[in-house]
Structure 1
């Protein structure tokens, strides 16, 4: 960890799930989406979402979901190429069918090909499977709920002090898919106002991750190996960084077995400080 911090000159942080923790907001999002699920499918939605949270469903964080084909895709974590395809019920496609349909690297969007990089996408996938056409209004409702007194952000001990100390010698940038109003409110509640010298909101990761990284390289006049991408979403923040020659700090509470010379896996951002 010391080597990554000493070699890095520009640190690019995610917001949701990185600078604060907790899963209650994902459950709230699921509850809101359930309102849009047809009555005959509500039990199925609840059952599948619970299985996802327990790790007993094909849909898992780190995979992808093809909305149109209703398939769950296992990816090589570093190349993001499809290595396994399952139906919603867990039936595995043949290698021949996989090669015919999913050749080359996937292109993700937010409607048809979903990178399940964090807990936001589990209820989303369940909602899409059960026929919900538009999930965005419920996402907006959840974000609004998160800045009310009814919701308490789980601040991570030591992070504010650690970031301020890091800022003395490094450049800190925030890149998030949240919109500018959400980011302002969340940073204020986390007491992180003014910590980041540059903030990119509505980033549309992972579809624009590489583009944003290239812009930061040019703006800050640094080499890729001098940049450290920090986040809890491997597909959004870590895999693209490693592909570009950058370093990554991946926040994974389960501390899985991912290994790479340019990668450090931690259970919480607090572990870095």
Structure 2
């Protein structure tokens, strides 16, 4: 990982799940949406499914996709975004090859890339009929900047980023909106660190577009740039496809690529 970073001229970081690793807010988000189910039995099923997802014991897992309209869970080739297998909510294989003949396009409404913990409760909510998830998302973001929620600062991260900044361009590219990003970076004491910040980035749909523009803006070749993130579909696969290097924040990944380095956390890596 250090060699990737040391040789780079441009390092592009994700925010959620990368520069902070707290997960309690996902449970808060889940509880808000579960409360919209007025049937106690549905609430119990929602909770059971959500707990199974977090434990890795459900067909809905990080790294897959969720077709909201058809209630199907899709296994993907992350590099091509083509569907390799389809399951229903109960984990049964469904033969729907003709439905997903083309690479997927994600729109954050009907076709979802389950790239991180935000999307597990979202999928459960949609399966059980919750229509309004956005209000709960906004309330969760508001909760995250109150005294009731404390972001855990990743050990050594601020100093490491400041050291990187001395010799490289470091950029933040996140799906969070500008107000959330400002609050989170201030809470993490990282608000003066980044050369450039891209918010509401619509990853993974526009990841390659953003990366190409950044490569051109800073006049660096793809092999001189590194993408750092916890979401393989959003930040890692697009970088590898462009010939960039990537650092994947993941506890145990089976992905193998000569330009890929996997670590469980950014804590004390410099």
Given the two structures, how large is their TM-score scaled by the length of structure 1?
0.96
Q: 1:176 to 1:44 in 2, by over 3 A?
A: same
Please give the residue correspondences for 1:159-238 in structure 2 after superposition, counting only pairs within 5 Å: 159-238=157-236
| Structure 1: gaps of 5 or more residues | none
Q: What is residue 117 of structure 1 aligned with on the other side?
A: 115
Q: Does 1:77 align with 2:78?
A: yes
Q: Does 1:266 align with 2:267?
A: no
Whole-angstrom CA distance in 1 between matches of 2:224 and 2:37: 47
Q: Deviations over 1:134-185 (max 9, x none)?
A: 2111000000000000001121100001000111111000011111111111
Contact 2:156 2:269 (8 Å CA) reproduced: no
Please give the residue correspondences for 1:111-150 in structure 2 after superposition, counting only pairs within 5 Å: 111-150=109-148
Q: How many residue pairs are counted as aligned between the two chains?
A: 269
Whole-angstrom CA distance in 1 between matches of 2:74 and 2:268: 31
Whole-angstrom CA distance in 2 between matches of 1:18 and 1:192: 13
Q: What is residue 12 of structure 1 aligned with on the other side?
A: 12
Whole-angstrom CA distance in 1 between matches of 2:37 and 2:61: 21
Contact 2:64 2:74 (8 Å CA) reproduced: yes
Q: What is residue 244 of structure 1 aligned with on the other side?
A: 242
Whole-angstrom CA distance in 2 between matches of 1:41 and 1:134: 16
Q: What is residue 66 of structure 1 aligned with on the other side?
A: 67
| Structure 2: gaps of 5 or more residues | none
Whole-angstrom CA distance in 2 between matches of 1:206 and 1:271: 28
Match of 1:107 among 96, 105, 118: 105
Whole-angstrom CA distance in 1 between matches of 2:152 and 2:62: 21
Whole-angstrom CA distance in 1 between matches of 2:190 and 2:51: 33
Aligned-residue RMSD, C-alpha = 1.1
